[in-house]
Amino acid sequence: MTLTRRDVENIAHLARLEITEAEMPVYVKSLSSILAFVEQLSGAPTADVAPMAHPLEGQVQPLREDRVTESDRRAAYQANAPAVEAGLYLVPKVIE
Amino acid sequence: MSLHAATAAELARGLRAKRYSAVEVAGHFLARIERANPALNAFVTVTRERALADAKRADERLARGEGGPLTGVPVAHKDIFCTTGILTSCGSRMLSNFVSPYDATVVERLDAAGMVLLGKTNMDEFAMGSSNETSFYGPVKNPWDERKVPGGSSGGSAAAVAARIAPVATGTDTGGSIRQPGALTGLTGFKPTYGRVSRYGMIAFASSLDQAGVLAQSAEDAALVLSAMAGHDPRDSTSVDAPVPDYAAALDKPVKGLKIGIIREFFGEGLDAATGDAVRAAIEHFRKEGARVKEVSLPALPLSVPTYYVVAPAECSSNLSRFDGVRFGHRCKDPKDLTDLYKRTRGEGFGAEVKRRIMTGTYVLSAGYYDAYYLKAQKVRSLINADFKRAFGEVDVLMGPTAPTPAFDIGAKTDDPILMYLNDIYTIGANLAGLPAVSVPCGLVGGLPVGLQVIGPHFAEERLLAAAHAWQRATDWHRRMPAAYA
């Protein structure tokens, strides 16, 4: 699998990553080589094999009651935010 | 014996016998960190005042006769574990301003055990790396030879314990990130069964693979710390609700009659000859002690690395989408709109390897490629898991090398991601199947440590610790220290 520059631009957009001009050729090359490397999986005999998403078989997702268990720590959490005002997170204007 | 030459278990015994105080022990290690860290770069943050306050409280507990098996023993946490009021960087520019508002469960539990926090250790960025060269805070040096890497991603924890500037440290292991640095620095690196230790507050990389563990000087130390940190946590829905045994009590179980399987696929091309010889000699020792040794084949295991490099990036691309420059972490300057904010924040905040993995994951999950890559890899993961299950129908534990070579030169593999990924060729299988595994030092090759890996079935932690302890009672590789830090 060889990716083109256009492919990498598309992936970077999907992942919301800005890739600089200098980085671009490095990623075209290394992502292509990683995809070529994982290509060897295609030969593995998996016709009747179920996909494995979780390493512990038979473990069921536990459920809990839907009730509030945590206290309000908004101020402590927002201390890490780049921009807040009146308890709200600030982002550039989305709707004109 | 000087304080830093003592294991965590020995320090704990000395503290309870009042041979020294926890404040003295903390002071000794803080002074060693101050001297050694500029060269090693093992710590991102040293928590001097916190350490001294913790130690004072530990001394009070010990004076009341309330000390437990780890009270007053210093510990360093990998900087992937959230620590209240302390920088938690995950080795990334993205979190280089993140002061956690809460503690990880692992941190909370070791704190409750009376351990003394020395600081936060350097690591590959978001735990993505095998050499500790992808950290925003720069590479960590291997105390055995400062031109060499310490392994990764828990490289700072490994270097700190190997240089005895911390008696024990926490780590995380997604594809070998405890065991491989353990092997490369002469330590006992223990990765428990998936779900055995809570992942709450441990910054997520690949959620179906991540597991917390220990970088220790001995199996005994690993057992003590694991007993304190393991157990069910309602805040992590994948943590297993099963009682935690007293791991230290299991150490003395004899290896006579233990059925050992040597993994044939781990001794092929790519394994350094002298490393292979050291590992084979260790297994021969077990045979002489009465273990039954046979060769077993796990034919799908050679597909571990390509499987991992689909599954782990896929999960990472999802987990790392939370870093968006809105609620915490780095934010770019003067974004012109929301998309620009996301893209430049993430482009600037993440390093090269993290971006590479996010893009790999994005690609393998994208429309039109999902079946060919992600679903296929999950099916091959089933094949690998089935191989392990079959093997554990015949033997009690599996053995082989931890890493294909001793520590390599800093910079040697940074330009070739595939070459770097192949460092984890022997460790990734245990993560894909969720198995517990340990690396124990089994020799020196060209003056550098190499490790024997022991893999067990789910929840066979006690069996692994007993095997590791038996080996360490008969040998002294785990007591060797790099000469410059003795």
- CB-CB: which of B339, B382, B458 is closest to A49? B382
Quick one: pLDDT band at residue A58, thresholds 50, 70, 90? confident
Count other C-beta atoms under 10 Å from residue B53's C-beta: 15
User: In this complex, how many residue pairs, one in chain A and one in chain B, have their CB atoms less than 8 Å apart?
Assistant: 173
Nearest of B126, B123, B89, B104 to residue B312 by alpha carbon? B126
pLDDT at B398: 98
pLDDT at B419 over 70: yes
Which tokens is A7 given? 């492919």
Length of chain B (residues): 486
Report the alpha-carbon distance of residue B380 to residue B472 in Å, rounded.
Answer: 36
Q: What is the DSSP letter of B142?
A: B
Residue pLDDT, tens place only, B354-390: 999 999 999 999 989 999 999 999 999 999 999 999 9
Find the mean pLDDT for residues B459-471. Answer: 98
Give how far B193 is from chain A: nearest CA, Å. 9
Contacts of A75 (CB under 8 A, 6+ apart): none
Q: What value of ipTM does the predicted structure carry?
A: 0.96
The one catalytic residue among B21, B78, B130, B131:
B78
Q: Nearest CA of chain B to the CA of A94: how many Å? A: 7
**Helices B219-229 and B8-16 sit at what angle, rounded to 10 degrees?**
70
Query: Is the CB of A80 less than 8 angstroms away from the CB of B385?
Result: no
Confidence of residue B1 (pLDDT cuts 50, 70, 90): low
Let me know if B375 is exposed, middle or buried by CB neighbors in 10 A (0-12, 13-18, 19+). Answer: middle
Candidate from B97, B341, B360 with C-beta closest to A91: B341
Q: Which residue of B has its CA nearest to A63?
A: B237
pLDDT at B251: 98
Average pLDDT over residues B6-27: 97
Residue window 9-68, chain A: list those with CB within 8 Å of chain B.
11-20, 23, 26-27, 30-31, 33-35, 37-42, 44-46, 49-56, 59, 61-62, 64
Ordered strands of the B437-445 beta sheet: B43-46, B116-121, B74-78, B169-172, B212-216, B188-191, B437-445, B448-455, B397-401, B259-263, B292-296
Q: How many CB atoms lie within 10 A of CB B398?
A: 25
Mean pLDDT of B298-324: 98
Q: Write the DSSP string, B222-258.
A: HHHHHHHHBS--TTSTTS--SPPP-GGGGTT---TT-
pLDDT tens for B29-81 read: 999 999 999 999 999 999 999 999 999 999 999 999 999 999 999 999 999 99
Query: What confidence score (pLDDT) does residue A56 get?
Result: 86
The pairing of beta strand B188-191 with beta strand B74-78: unpaired
Mutate which: B209, B362, B424, vs A, most A CBs within 10 A: B362
Q: What is the pLDDT of residues B150-207, one digit of tens each?
A: 999 999 999 999 999 999 999 999 999 999 999 999 999 999 999 999 999 999 999 9
Residue B39: helix, strand or coil by DSSP? helix
pLDDT in tens, A11-32: 999 999 999 999 999 999 999 9
* DSSP for residue B139: P
How far is residue B159's CA from residue B185's CA, in Å, rounded to a whole number?
A: 7
Residue tagged active-site, from B21, B89, B131, B153: B153
B195-250 pLDDT tens trace: 999 999 999 999 999 999 999 999 999 999 999 999 999 999 999 999 999 999 99
Mean pLDDT for chain A? 93
Residues 6+ positions from A50 with CB-CB distance below 8 Å: B379, B382
Please return the burial class of B252, using the count of CB atoms within 10 Å of its CB with bins 0-12, 13-18 and 19+: exposed
Q: Are residues A80 and B97, on separate chains, in Cβ contact within 8 Å?
A: yes
Q: Report pLDDT for B218.
A: 98
CA distance B171 to B120: 11
In degrees and rounded to multiples of 5, residue B366 shows phi and psi of -80, 155
Tens digits of per-residue pLDDT, B67-85? 999 999 999 999 999 999 9
Confidence band of B482 (pLDDT split at 50, 70, 90): very high
How many residues are listed for chain A in this entry?
96
Question: Residue B330 CB: number of other CB atoms within 10 A?
Answer: 20
Three-state DSSP at B471 gives helix
Strands of B4-149, DSSP E: 43-46, 74-78, 116-121
The reported pLDDT for the residue numbered B265 is: 97
Contacts of B251 (CB under 8 A, 6+ apart): B219, B220, B223, B465, B466, B469
Question: Is the model's pLDDT at A57 over the cut of 80?
Answer: no
Q: Is B191 a catalytic residue?
A: no
